[in-house]
Amino acid sequence: MAGIAAALLVLAQSEGYAWVDNLLSRSGTVISLLIFLGVIAAIVFWAVGIYNSLVNKRNRVRNAFAQIDVQLT
């Protein structure tokens, strides 16, 4: 991370990109935002996994009852 920050700092100083200098001055905010987005992504993946598990269980129950119906007729 330090190497990237140093490269961005050199780029900002040599080319005059104010947005890079601004980004480096608010690196704590950027890191906090990335952590927040990572947590949100983890929660979304967890919720999708739970949903897929429930759909799988529902399909297994439907299949089991369909097999019972076939055996009774």
36-70 residue pLDDT tens: 899 999 999 999 999 999 999 999 999 998 888 77
Contact between residue 27 and residue 5 where contact means Cβ atoms under 8 Å apart: yes
What are the extents of the domains in the chain? Answer: 2-72
- Rounded CA-CA distance 36/13 in Å is 30
Q: Shortest CA distance to 64 belongs to which of 42, 35, 56, 51?
A: 56
What confidence tier does 73 reach under pLDDT thresholds 50, 70, 90? Answer: low
State if pTM tops 0.75: no
